[in-house]
Structure 1
Amino acid sequence: MSILELEEKSVEEAIARACEQLQLPREQLDIEIISKGSSGIFGIVGAKKAKIRVTPKVLPATAVAERAKMVLTEILKHVDLPTVVEAENKEDYVYLNIISNGSGLLIGKRGKTLNALQYLVSKILQQEFTESLSIVVDTENYRTKREGSLTELALQLSEKVKRTLRPLTTGPMNSQDRRIIHLALKEDHDVRTKSKGEGNLRRVVIYPVRRGKKPQNKITVTEQEA
């Protein structure tokens, strides 16, 4: 269950903010008042904010998507580009699409800027909600295009490995790109894949499989394994 802790000048203001962030009416929230706060002396000295802990009775997927959209919109206000954010609930993640005439700048080299935005939104939501949330930030359908080009690369490298019977190594890749390579070759029993290296230098190595030997890594690839 998701838990949200907020501080405002008064309990009522904190509750109103919780309703706005979660996109839920007050009656659908379990509200615990941690501190009622105080105005202090003359409303200045010793003033303390009210603090509440809010747990949604039911957290609709639409509420998570709207909150993710709000967070990304706030971040993009610091970018000198006109942007509009669209949010959509997919099967097991929230998809955020940025509409802008400066998509190239938002994508960055090999998607680095887009990945950074995705990381920031994910981290902020993780602080607000206790449950695991998967966020994907995209623009100009970059993620799909990137997946297609990496899948094609994986198939080309696989064919070369099978032809030469020698392993090949990709260039440095982030975890998402490595995952695409692993999954693209998951059903090819003539090769096997393995990630090697540390941090930003981590790569995927594609090995030939000798006839009669069963590949060892033809399993579902998790983010950690990638």
Structure 2
Amino acid sequence: MEWVETTGKSIEEAKSVALDRLGVADEEAEYEILEEPKAGLFGRTRGEARVRARVKPRIPRAKVERRDRRPRKDDTPSAEGAPRAPRAPRAKQPRQQEKKMSDSSENNDRPRRERPEGPPADPAQVAAEAEKFLIGLAASLGANGETAVNIDGNDIEVQLNGSDLGLLVGPRGSTLQAVQDITRVVSQRRMGDHDTRLRIDIGGYRAKRKEALSRFVTQVADEVVASGSARALEAMPSPDRKIVHDALTGRTDIATHSEGEDPNRRVVISPAAVTAAE
């Protein structure tokens, strides 16, 4: 797991920022203190605390001894021990290639048959398939997971809770997003195409991330207003950008917009006066 480096007014604040970026609990992370704030006049501190943190590496399980692999034909030496002569390259068959191209073009020109619409999938069954997959995924990592489901119409949220689930969250929820995408694919393969919207959360990460990110961007917005200068945040995925925009929607003294292309797309916070002048 890669190290992340963060700063804060104190060691604890720097650690808290690191945990937000890693998306794990304190007991699931390890730290290195790079720099401590220095004591100044009248008990004030000068400088910032700087720490490195990462998710604690897991000890891999002992591998079960595999059965002896049967020798392949290529592994057995020839009777005379002489190297085999290289095969001559096959001649291309342009007629067959032209036929394949023409067949593919004809297939593209043909109208596609629409899939017959079956009965709508039961959201409870979709959630059950997602639960089964997530519990099995946690078990494969040696963790015990419990699930909780919230269904609102076609919106399904499945929460996986338990210990040692930090690896399924990853830095800033990147692994969690991948787990959500895979769970959707698995449910579609088992249940067929359906119109439900499946959302996965692990260890309450999304709620923690939303709270921490909203608090952070509110502080940045105050600094932007005080300085009168726009500030670009670090690149973040679409769900996090939405949290930023939603957190600052009610403010009239600043404006937000996104710029760049994924995965380097970022939110820019600008003073309202600067935005109006532009």
* TM-score bin, normalised by smaller chain: 0.5 to 0.7
Residue 178 (str. 1) matches residue 217 (str. 2): no
Residue 87 (str. 1) matches residue 149 (str. 2): yes
Give percent identity, aligned residues only.
Answer: 26
1:175: how far off?
1.0
Partner of 1:121: 183
Q: CA RMSD for the aligned pairs? A: 2.9
Which of 58, 66, 72 is the equivalent residue of 2:134? 72
Cα deviations by residue, 1:129-174 (Å, 9 ceiling, x for unpaired): 4344322222332111110011111211111111222111111211
Partner of 1:196: 259
Partner of 1:136: 199
1:124: how far off?
3.0
1:176/1:214 CA distance change after superposition, 3 Å = farther
Equivalent residues in 2 for 1:131-170, closer than 5 Å: 131-170=194-233
Judge conservation of contact 1:126–1:132 (CA < 8 Å) in 2: no
- 1:111 partner letter: G
Bigger Rg over Cα: 2
1:116/1:94 CA distance change after superposition, 3 Å = same
Q: Which runs of 5+ in 1 are unaligned?
A: 1-52, 216-226
Q: TM-score, structure 1 length as denominator?
A: 0.62
State the SS of the aligned residue for 1:205. strand
State the SS of the aligned residue for 2:263. helix
Judge conservation of contact 1:87–1:97 (CA < 8 Å) in 2: yes
Q: TM-score, structure 2 length as denominator?
A: 0.51
Residue 57 (str. 1) matches residue 119 (str. 2): yes
1:180: how far off?
0.1
Partner of 2:68: none
State the SS of the aligned residue for 1:210. helix
1:166/1:201 CA distance change after superposition, 3 Å = same
Cα deviations by residue, 1:99-120 (Å, 9 ceiling, x for unpaired): 2220323322222222221121
Task: Count the aligned residue pairs.
Answer: 163
Select between 189-198 and 176-185 the one with higher mean Cα deviation: 189-198
Quick one: distance in 1 between partners of 2:171 and 2:132? 25
Q: Which runs of 5+ in 2 are unaligned?
A: 1-114
Cα deviations by residue, 1:2-54 (Å, 9 ceiling, x for unpaired): xxxxxxxxxxxxxxxxxxxxxxxxxxxxxxxxxxxxxxxxxxxxxxxxxxx99
